[in-house]
Amino acid sequence: MWPRQRRIECIAAQVRFRENSATFIFIPRDSSLFPSPGTSGNQDREILVQHLLVKEDQLQLLTELQKRLVQEDIDLSDLATEHSICPSKKNGGMLGWVSKGRMVPEFEEAAFSAPLNKIVRAKTKFGWHLLQVLSERFSGFLVEIQPEELAKRMKDPEFRENAQLLDVRELKEIKIASLDGFKPFPLSQFGEWGPTIGDTLDPDKDTFVVCHHGVRSLQAAQWLKSQGFSRLHNVSGGIHAYSTRVDDKVPVY
């Protein structure tokens, strides 16, 4: 068995591409919880959480499990797989990276106040939880960039050298019209490039995403943000707006 800290580091590295199972503690997505791309107030703390859940009348079991975690060389994930009633048990209780507003209040309060790696308990309407925060990060920003501003930046050689430029349209669209320097990442081929995106691109670099009208690129940028990309720019209005407002040599389709 690996040392505990090594296992935690491994989990933190691998969870980026793991889809969360349905769990009891998450609340439905609401647009009010996710600032629009035009806002820059997205510097929210995110935490990597795993937990186990038992029924409300099983406090004694929870106490026994908590003692085992202290006295034995065992991970919370091992106990979650065996004892948790949350669907996340199939992933060892892993909930992935979460931000405030995504969990029921009692769980959220306990999780966001918990020291890293410390096992804490929480009581919610679903029962009793043991939870552990394995890591933390700041979610960065996702903003809209106007075509005029993009054109200005693209004149700077250093910008082209340092920025990551993604075009998420289909290849047949790119053949009709394209912007110099943007590399194709067609959404229809997401299954090919998605799982290795953290190796292909640098999550800490400025990343610019374009599509036809700015809708698909926004979806892609939001996904990239969930994967830890911290400096994201969605081209407002897409290549269509760039053509009509900046450079009429770029074909309109």
Residue in 94, 145, 211, 218 annotated catalytic: 211
Active site residue 86: no
One DSSP character per residue, the chain reads: ---HHHHHHHHHHHGGGPPPPP-SSBPPP-GGGS--TT------EEEEEEEEEE-TT-HHHHHHHHHHHHHSS--HHHHHHHH--SGGGGGTTEEEEEETTSB-HHHHHHHHHSPTT-EEEEEETTEEEEEEEEEEEE--EEEEE-HHHHHHHHTSHHHHHHSEEEE-S-HHHHHH---TTPEE--GGGHHHHGGGHHHHS-TTS-EEEE-SSSHHHHHHHHHHHHTT--EEEEETTHHHHHHHHT-TTSPP-
Catalytic residues, which ones?
211
